[in-house]
Amino acid sequence: MPTSSAAVFWTRPNPDSLTNRMPFPLTFATKYSAIGGILFSVIALLGTPTIAQQVKAGTSPEDSATKVLNRSRPGIAKVRVISVSSGSQIAIGTGFVVGDNSSMVTNYHVVSDTVLQPSQYRLEYQANDGTHGNLTIAALDIVNDLALLRLDRPLASASPIEISGAIATKGDTVFAIGFPLSKGLTIVSGTFNGKAEDYFQPLIHYSGALNSGMSGGPAVDGSGTLVGVNKAVTRNAQLVSLLVPSSKVSELLNRPISGAINSPNYWKSEAERQLHQHAEIVMSSLVNQKLPTRSFDTYIGVDLEPLGFKCEGVHQNETGKYQHTLDGRVCNTNSWVYVDSSIYMGAVSLYTGIRTNKGMNSLRFAEVRRTHFDFRKKVSDDPEKNKTGYECAQRMVNINNLQSITFTCMRRDHRFEDLYDTTFVMHSVASDKQSIQVRAEMIGMPFSASKAMIGRVMEGVTWKR
Amino acid sequence: MEAVAWVELLGHRGQVLHRHPAFAWPIRIGNTYDGDIVVDDPAFPETKIFLETSSGNEAEMFLELASTSTNGNGGDVPRLRINHKPVEAVAARSIRLFSDDVIECGAARMRVRLRGHVVSRHRLNGKERFVDSWAFAWLIAVTAAIWYGFFSSINSLNEDVSEQLKDPFSLVAALLIWWGGWSLITRLVTGYGHSREHLLITGILFVLYPNAGNVGSALAFATGATTFALGGQLVQLAGVFYAMFAHLRLVKRVGVTMSVLRAGLLPCITWLWLMNGINIVFPEDKKPMSYDASMWPASIVIKSNETAQDVLASLESVKERVDAAAKTIENRVNAGQSSNEPNK
């Protein structure tokens, strides 16, 4: 018998590749790219001269990208994140002027460093006419990844991007504008494909080539009216990009702009408040009633699909010394919120699976189950040590006449109160022929809600014998 | 019938020439055939050595000399040495002895070993002392290394170790297991009839200590029986207590304060630090021992009729630990930020 579960885990072939897809803040987005994960990129690069535009003879001026660009150009600027100590640019994005030429909209993730570490970073803009100046934060919508910035002085040459609130039609041409890889102002033509499915927050599915640096830039129709805000592109996919709907920009602009901000951490506190609000919305759809259940062979487990969340099936067949099959479902709310480059919050995932013994003796089957019980070995700690290590509790329980072992671990980002990453794992031990395994992960959720979710999961598991 | 002691006749280099079991007290040694042990040595004086235990105490013997001289003047008193030191051999005088003391009477040299006892350090021979000293020096070196690693600011896992130390059960168990281990080492160094038995038991103990919990846990997974998980812990505890009491007997016989300290406390602390030190030095995925203080209480107090409410109730303490850890990080970050404030 191995001397440690760690040795067993790393030397045995992992019979459950699903566990590699279990979401944790850093891996959550990238692992789920196949079902709509998002890559956020804000890369600091040096700027390069804008490539000269030429209008083809005979092109209709009404719809040409040139016309759109020329109309929009004065109101679009680079948003630069500057290190206070070194004066160096550490990140870059795009912003566009709205309203009275004193305000600019961009993505929250472009300015997240300034929000969370205001003493270490500041914001600057650099307009196309060469004008530059400082920016301050005027409003935040962290859940929808938006930020409203205030310019130190109105941008005289700018023409604000029009926000009408009208929704484009599927198939319409939409032009995304920004500074990709800091190469200069660029316009990209793409197709509006309506609401992106399976996301908790409203997002637009845009078939256009967005690139790093274009985040926060406007996506406009042929008349230059805002359709959405460039947000992200899906990794390992072709032209699958996401925009924040213009309606969310309108909501942000209609929020009362804060007056005196006394504390340098005001916006961090505001972000935290919004995270709590978002968590409450997500969890209320889960814990306020019994979770739907579904049959898993001789067991019954919980399922989130009837609640409208995206689920997909899992099947694995292991041969050889550890011959067994794994059949299950993984569901998630897809409601995660970008907080900074290393963490996301506000999402729930649920895995329910049946592991069926296909010829192993009971001890070996027990060992296979045990190797997937303690997930902590697969999780890397927050590299900046903003998160605590995992604290855990293990209990052996009898739930609905099903003997099981449960393992609950929690950790927290010290910067945010009462927002925990909680992982609950439950393995039945009543039978050496088949075992049900449940794994619920609440990322960046309040303790009380996570606790309630765990309770809902346990009450939904039974053994049909 | 088991022997109560062995009488070993030694050669001039201390090698054992003959070994005779004695099955009852008193043991009579002489060069006549009415004794229990006959020393066939013409140089052995015409006397008898009686070895008797003190009442209720198996650890001591009394040497009584019975002179067979008939000339009335005390007789031809044999030259008597105990542990190479001359002793005035007066007839009928009691001389207190301990197990493994070497008795020289005339030209004969013998050693009596009591069943179930070991020899204290000052009775070890040179080779035995060397081994004992080397083991002690090694323990000192390991302790120093672990202490250095623990206090080194390079290793940020120190806070995890300090958390583990707050678990009193684990601390006590670690102390006891090493105490028992040292008992084994001492017995092996000195050697006596039952060392094999202790080697087996304590060897199993050392193998099982880091693994009994895992074995029990695996069996619990296999059978669903909570008793296996609990049994794994009980195996550890049983071995620990056995080793502790075995060493208590050793300490009692030795009766030297320094040996108690050396044989008890210091190795216990070393073992504790060694276990934690190994877990500090090795990368997360290559730790030779799984050590999770938070899992011990659950496996000890397992009840198969715990409900979902018990699971939820246990989360409160987890939350408290997480919050405490978050506070620690926050204080550290704030301290770092205050010293790194940029010049404005």
Record: contact A6-B284, CB cut-off 8 A: yes
Coil/strand/helix, residue B146:
helix
Record: contact B211-A447, CB cut-off 8 A: no
In B113-225, which ranges are continuous DSSP H helix? 126-151, 158-165, 168-190, 195-208, 212-223
Which residue did the predictor score with more confidence, A207 or B73?
A207
Q: What was the pLDDT predicted at A58?
A: 36
Coil/strand/helix, residue A438:
strand
DSSP string over B47-115: EEEEEEEETTEEEEEEEEEEE---SSSS--PPPEEETTEEE---TT-EEEEETT-EEEETTEEEEEEET
Q: Is A406 near chain B, with CB under 8 Å?
A: yes
Record: contact A447-B315, CB cut-off 8 A: yes
Contacts of B87 (CB under 8 A, 6+ apart): B80, B81, B95
Average pLDDT value over all residues in chain B: 59
**Sheet strand arrangement including B108-114:** B16-22, B5-10, B108-114, B102-105, B80-82, B85-87
Alpha-carbon gap, residue B69 to B51, rounded angstroms: 20
The mean per-residue pLDDT over the stretch B261-272 comes to: 50
Record: contact B308-A412, CB cut-off 8 A: no
Q: What is the pLDDT along chain A (465 residues), one digit of tens a residue?
A: 222 222 222 222 222 222 222 222 221 222 233 333 343 333 222 222 222 222 333 334 445 888 888 888 888 999 999 999 999 999 999 999 998 889 999 999 999 999 999 989 999 999 988 889 999 999 999 999 999 999 998 887 778 888 876 678 888 899 999 998 877 899 999 999 999 888 899 999 999 888 888 999 999 988 889 999 999 887 777 788 999 999 999 999 988 766 556 677 889 999 999 999 999 999 998 999 899 999 988 899 999 999 888 899 989 898 887 788 999 999 999 998 999 887 889 999 999 999 898 887 766 777 677 666 666 554 555 555 688 888 888 777 888 888 888 889 899 999 999 999 999 999 887 777 888 889 999 999 999 999 999 999 999 998 887
The phi and psi torsions of A26 (rounded to 5 degrees) equal -75, -40
B325 contact residues in A (CB cutoff 8 A): 388-389, 391, 412
The phi and psi torsions of B171 (rounded to 5 degrees) equal -65, -50
Alpha-carbon gap, residue B269 to B246, rounded angstroms: 19
Q: What was the pLDDT predicted at A449?
A: 95
Record: contact A420-B319, CB cut-off 8 A: yes
How far from each other are the two terminal CA atoms of chain A, in whole angstroms? 31
CA distance to partner chain A, nearest, from residue B256 (Å): 37
Coil/strand/helix, residue B244:
helix
Which residue did the predictor score with more confidence, B204 or A51?
B204
Which pair of tokens denotes residue B222?
């296999």
Q: What was the pLDDT predicted at A30?
A: 26
Q: What was the pLDDT predicted at B301?
A: 29
Is it true that the peptide bond before B26 is cis, omega within 30 degrees of 0? yes
Q: Which residues 90-119 in chain B show a CB within 8 A of chain A?
A: none
The mean per-residue pLDDT over the stretch B21-34 comes to: 77
Q: What was the pLDDT predicted at A190?
A: 92
In A218-355, which ranges are continuous DSSP H helix? 246-253, 266-287
Among A333, A380, A353, A320, residue whose Cα is nearest residue A436: A353
Residue A115 belongs to what H/E stretch? helix A108-116
Q: What was the pLDDT predicted at B20?
A: 79
Proportion of chain B above pLDDT 90, given as a percent = 4
Three-point CA angle B51, B56, B61, nearest 5°: 20
CA distance to partner chain A, nearest, from residue B202 (Å): 17
Which pair of tokens denotes residue A334?
């897809």
A122 contact residues in B (CB cutoff 8 A): none
DSSP string over A77-108: EEEEEEETTT--EEEEEEEEEETTTTEEEE-H
pLDDT digits (tens, 9 = 90+) for B79-132: 778 877 887 756 556 777 777 788 887 778 888 877 655 445 555 556 555 555
CB-nearest to A454 from B210, B298, B312 is B312
- What is the ipTM metric for this complex? 0.80
Q: Please name the residue that has the structure tokens 């190479």.
A: B84
CB-nearest to B311 from A7, A413, A458 is A458
Coil/strand/helix, residue A124:
strand
Proportion of chain B above pLDDT 70, given as a percent = 30
What are B187-191's contacts with CB under 8 Å, separation 24+? B187/B118, B187/B250, B189/B124, B189/B128, B189/B131, B189/B132, B189/B135, B190/B100, B190/B118, B190/B119, B190/B124, B190/B128
Q: Is B294 near chain A, with CB under 8 Å?
A: yes
Record: contact B304-A413, CB cut-off 8 A: no
The phi and psi torsions of A48 (rounded to 5 degrees) equal -130, 160
Record: contact B295-A392, CB cut-off 8 A: yes
Which residue did the predictor score with more confidence, B331 or B278?
B331
User: Which of A390, A395, A410, A427 is the mutation pick for testing B, counting most B CBs within 10 A?
Assistant: A395
Q: Is B43 near chain A, with CB under 8 Å?
A: no
Among A448, A142, A82, A125, residue whose Cα is nearest residue A268: A142
Q: Is the distance from CB of A112 to CB of A338 less than 8 angstroms? A: yes
| Whole-model pTM over 0.90 | no
Record: contact A85-B292, CB cut-off 8 A: no
Contacts of A281 (CB under 8 A, 6+ apart): none
Q: Is B204 near chain A, with CB under 8 Å?
A: no
Record: contact A451-B312, CB cut-off 8 A: yes
Say how many residues make up chain A. Answer: 465
CA distance to partner chain A, nearest, from residue B311 (Å): 7
Q: What was the pLDDT predicted at A136?
A: 92
Q: Is B157 near chain A, with CB under 8 Å?
A: no
State the maximum Cα–Cα separation within chain B, in Å, rounded to a whole number: 111
At position A206, the amino acid (one-letter code) is Y
Asked whether residue B175 carries a pLDDT value surpassing 70, the answer given is no
Record: contact B214-A432, CB cut-off 8 A: no
pLDDT digits (tens, 9 = 90+) for B215-240: 555 555 555 444 544 555 555 555 55
Which residue did the predictor score with more confidence, B336 or B325?
B325
**Number of Cβ pairs < 8 A linking chain A and chain B:** 157
Which pair of tokens denotes residue A382?
């927050």
A427 contact residues in B (CB cutoff 8 A): 221
Q: What was the pLDDT predicted at B108?
A: 81
Q: B45-49, B66-70, B214-218: which has the highest mean pLDDT?
A: B45-49
Q: What are the residues facing B10 on neighbouring strands?
A: B16
Q: What was the pLDDT predicted at B180?
A: 55
Minimum mean pLDDT range among A83-97, B174-188, B267-281:
B267-281
For residue A379, the chain B residue with the least C-alpha distance is B284
